[in-house]
Amino acid sequence: MFSYELPDGGLRARCYINSEGDIKFDPPVYEQRYTTAVRILEDSRWGHKFKKVVDFGCADMRLLSLLRRVEGIEQILEVDIDEDILRSNKLRAEPLVSDYLKKREGPLRVELLKGSIDASVEQLLNVDAVIALEIIEHLYPKTLENVPKNIFGFMQPKIAIFSTPNSEFNVLFEPLLENGFRHDDHKFEWTRTEFKDWALNICQKYHNYSVAFIGVGDAPPDKKDIGYVTQIAIFARNDLLDRSLTEPFSSEVPVDCDPDADVQYKEIFAVDFPYNRDERSKEQKILDEARYQIDRCRRIDRYFNRDLGVYQVPLTVLKDFIETLGASMQELLAILKENDIEVKGDYIILPEYDEDDLSYRHYDDCYDDEYGLWNDVGCNDDETENDDELGACGGYSHTKDDATYDSEENWD
């Protein structure tokens, strides 16, 4: 097990009894479940972005509108056994007008797939995150038995989020349905102990996973002992928790799953969202980012070494920017060397003036209107005692006296 709390103090929700004696939740419990799942995925504690996510038992896909806004997600599989409900809610998977007006920074593909949560199919390979909200209580015993085999034995995601009703809360729901549950399709409803036992048994069999328990839907103040209306288990792969993995990973189908290797989910609909495509190579992105930051630093006085007459920009200035591109400092140094950008020790060395920056031209390199060229003749035809204080066409030079240096405006 591991301990987990939602970031930023958790959800702000309340439970109350209305004038007719019915228990109510604000916001509704389904919204609390969706919001909680998204906040778990967005939690910075994982130090990872989940690129491929599957939403099992997606039904009318109301969670999708939140999922597709999670930074880093590039593929969402909306999976349900009911083909009709997928088709009738297909519009919810399509891009909005705003998606075309303001395009995403990265790709996103949404697929609606008909299939069962216990089927080990190729489409589920390389899934980073599994969401299974309020689905296990709808499963028949054999299907439920195969769920851990498929998810933790075959898929092996980094994180899996399960929710299910807490039957101890049912004392506040009266009357229940004829089957004794909250929904006519429920096959069971577990107490907190039963749910905990189910989850811990999974971790005992699949040693690379640990589990934490939370819930949504508070009970009234005088009923806190019954727990939450919805109980949630968060399974995290141990490497996500900076713990050692005890078993090697394999992309092969486990023998005890006994799936049909040719079985695939039926694709109902698929769509690629518009996004701003960056066709540059990784090396070009690194070089462009480095040049941008270098140019920015040339305008910052604290990086200028007056004794040497050069800018000394710490390599650490580029570190965070380069890491966002998935690059290392070794890659950066190699690219700087290839492009004749000088590095000494921990600093990038820049000349005082960039030869492409006209605002920093020396006064002897003024522009000749007659010939349309820069020449070596000073701008001032008359030699005066003030010539030494002027840069290009009256511009500023760092090499002049302190008064001139201090009067330079800091453009950073």
pLDDT in tens, 289-321: 889 888 888 878 889 998 888 999 998 888 888
- 352 pLDDT more than 90: no
Higher pLDDT, 305 or 374: 305
Token pair recorded at residue 222: 């005088």
Residue 356 confidence (pLDDT): 55
- 191 pLDDT more than 90: yes
CB 275 within 8 A of CB 106: yes
Sheet holding 129-133, edge to edge: 209-216, 230-237, 159-165, 129-133, 52-56, 75-80, 109-114, 266-272
Q: Using 50, 70 and 90 to split pLDDT, how confident is the model at 51?
A: very high
* Average of per-residue pLDDT across 186-205: 97
| DSSP code at position 104 | B
* Average of per-residue pLDDT across 104-112: 95
* Average of per-residue pLDDT across 140-168: 96
Alpha helices in 89-128 (DSSP H): 97-101
Residue 393 confidence (pLDDT): 42
Neighbours of 202 (CB within 10 A): 20
Beta bridge partners of 311: 304, 350
Q: Using 50, 70 and 90 to split pLDDT, how confident is the model at 128?
A: very high
Q: Which helix (H) or strand (E) holds 344?
A: strand 343-344
Residue 86 confidence (pLDDT): 97
**Which is nearest to 12 in space by CA: 30, 29, 26, 33?**
26
- 157 pLDDT more than 80: yes
Q: Using 50, 70 and 90 to split pLDDT, how confident is the model at 355?
A: low
Residue 370 confidence (pLDDT): 54
Between 329-338 and 282-297, two packed helices, what is the crossing angle to 10 degrees? 80
Q: Using 50, 70 and 90 to split pLDDT, how confident is the model at 368?
A: low
CA distance 211 to 191: 17
Mean pLDDT lowest for which of 67-76, 134-143, 261-270, 378-387?
Answer: 378-387
CA distance 376 to 366: 7
Higher pLDDT, 247 or 371: 247
- 48 pLDDT more than 90: no
Beta bridge partners of 164: 231
pLDDT in tens, 245-286: 887 776 555 444 444 445 799 999 999 999 988 888 999 989
Mean pLDDT lowest for which of 228-242, 369-383, 389-403?
Answer: 389-403
Token pair recorded at residue 203: 């971790």
- 345 pLDDT more than 80: yes
Mean pLDDT lowest for which of 55-59, 259-263, 324-328, 353-357?
Answer: 259-263
Please report, to the nearest 10 degrees, the dihedral formed by the alpha carbons of residues 82, 85, 86, 91 taken in order. Answer: 180
CA distance 57 to 138: 10
Mean pLDDT lowest for which of 53-62, 250-259, 338-347?
Answer: 250-259
Q: Using 50, 70 and 90 to split pLDDT, how confident is the model at 151?
A: very high
Residue 360 confidence (pLDDT): 44
Residue 15 confidence (pLDDT): 87
CA distance 143 to 140: 5
